[in-house]
């Protein structure tokens, strides 16, 4: 999970929105509270870089949230050729 959180932080710093999804397989679908705990933990870990834009939504076998940058303006690096 640390690799995923690191990638989410990188994308948020670049100014992109990020959708984080949890897929339930088989009988896991009967325990959505475990997926909510996982998404909550991710949200808490990246609260400095991003904010929760859309609360957890469930569609079929997926539980997902959308994270947006924390309000800092996007810094573009200009390359001079």
Cα torsion 50, 51, 54, 56: sign: positive
Q: How far is it, in rounded angstroms, from Cα 67 to Cα 81? A: 34
Choice between 1 and 31, residue whose per-residue pLDDT is larger: 31
Helix (H/G/I), strand (E/B), else coil: 80:
coil
pLDDT in tens, 21-77: 999 999 999 999 999 999 999 999 998 899 999 999 999 899 999 999 987 555 544
| Dist CA 9 CA 50 (whole Å) | 8
Residue 71 confidence (pLDDT): 75
| Cα(60)–Cα(24) distance, integer angstroms | 9
Domains, the chain, in order of start with CATH, read 2-69 (3.30.110.10)
For residue 70, the model assigns a pLDDT of 87
Contact 22, 56 (CB under 8 A): no
Check pLDDT > 90 for residue 8.
Answer: yes
């Amino acid at each position: 999970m640390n690799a995923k959180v690191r990638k989410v932080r990188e994308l948020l710093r670049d100014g992109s929105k990020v959708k984080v999804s949890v897929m339930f397989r088989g009988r896991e679908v009967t325990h959505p509270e475990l997926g909510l705990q996982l998404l909550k933990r991710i949200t808490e870990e990246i609260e400095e870089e991003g904010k929760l834009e859309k609360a957890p939504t469930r569609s079929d076998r997926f539980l997902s949230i959308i994270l947006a940058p924390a309000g800092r303006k996007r810094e573009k690096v200009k390359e001079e050729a």
